[in-house]
Amino acid sequence: MKTALLLLLVAGCIDPVDPAWSLNHDHVVVARATPPRIHAGDATTLDALVAHAGGPTTVESPLSASAGRTQVTGSIIAVNAPKDVAYDTGDTPVDVLMTFARGTNRALSPVQVKKTVWLGEPADNPAMPDVTIGGAPAGDALTVPADQDVYLSTSVPAGWRVNWLTSAGQLFQDDEPTSYLHVLPADAHDGELACVIRDAEGGVVWKVWPIHAE
């Protein structure tokens, strides 16, 4: 009786939703500035990893970008210090607002993205650290066993953040350096796996693999 009641209550309350780790959902996964730290007045290149419902991810340039009073229609933008900030006080964050086409529904209004670019000592995005899949180094394409827990792991310094995303199977602990993937019989057996890493200095790096479960 109690189990039946619990099932009844849980079943009826809210519509199911795509989890945040799903690549089978139109959304901007992450955006980056290359480089993410520049001298005031220098230019940086903007792009983003975009997921699409029913299709592979793409790396896209913004439709438009703006930083303060500077607006561009391409992916390269020069970023100046805000007028009310003394540039010699140290690293200065400047928000860059971008728009991207909305996934597979490109007739809809664009998606808005905010990325912080730091003015100060220049620095690059981090390099992609080593990743292991099921204990073995990840190659260019991944094949994993179906209906088993497959551990995904990388190692990052303290303060960095890791996100795993996939369009094949289901992820658990998707915002931890060590996550695991489980592809159920009813899940898609082909798709992509992505690992997104944010360092503590505004840098971003990602890698996307085609994945097949068997």
Partner 1 sequence: MRALEVFPGIELVPVAAVPNAIAIRDAAPDQNRMLFDGFEVPTLLAGGRGVFFRDQSQVWVEADGFGVENGRATGGLIDIFSRPSDRYAYGYELTPMDASVSANAHGASLAVRGSFFEPTGVPLKLDTGSHDFSAQGRVDYRLSRRWSLTLSELGASNSNILFLRPVVTVRYRNGAWRAVIAGSTMYAHVSTYDTRAELRRDLGHALGLHSLEVRIGEDSQYSETSASTESHANEAVWAATTAALTRDIVFIGGVRADAFDSYLTVQPRGMLAVNARGTIVRLAAGAYRRPTDNATPQRATQLALSTENHAGPVLIASTAYYVDRERLLVPINGTTVDGEPDRRATGVATNVGIEVRAVLASGPWRARLGASVSHATRADTPTAASHAADYDLPAHLDVMASRAIGAWQLGARVQLRAGLPYTPVTGSIYNVEADRFDPIDGKVMSARAPWRRELDLRVDRKLLPQLRAYLDVAIDGGVLGYTYNYDYSRRLDIHALPVLPWLGLVGTL
Interface residues toward partner 1, by CB under 8 A: 1-2, 5-6, 8-10, 12-15, 17-18, 20, 25-28, 30-32, 97, 109, 111-116, 161, 163, 198, 202, 204
Q: How far is the CB of 154 from partner 1 (least distance, A)?
A: 17
* Tokens found for residue 203: 């840098």
Do 209 and 143 form a contact (C-beta atoms < 8 A)? no
Do 137 and 149 form a contact (C-beta atoms < 8 A)? no
CA distances from 6 to 9, 11, 14, 15, 113 (A): 5, 8, 15, 17, 40
Residue number, 9 or 107, with CB nearest to partner 1: 9
Residue number, 163 or 179, with CB nearest to partner 1: 163
Q: How far is the CB of 139 from partner 1 (least distance, A)?
A: 27
DSSP-derived secondary structure for 87-102: GGGS-EEEEEEEEE--
Residue number, 1 or 127, with CB nearest to partner 1: 1
Q: How far is the CB of 28 from partner 1 (least distance, A)?
A: 5
Q: How far is the CB of 66 from partner 1 (least distance, A)?
A: 13
Burial class of residue 135 (count of CB atoms within 10 Å of its CB; 0-12, 13-18, 19+): exposed
Residue number, 30 or 142, with CB nearest to partner 1: 30
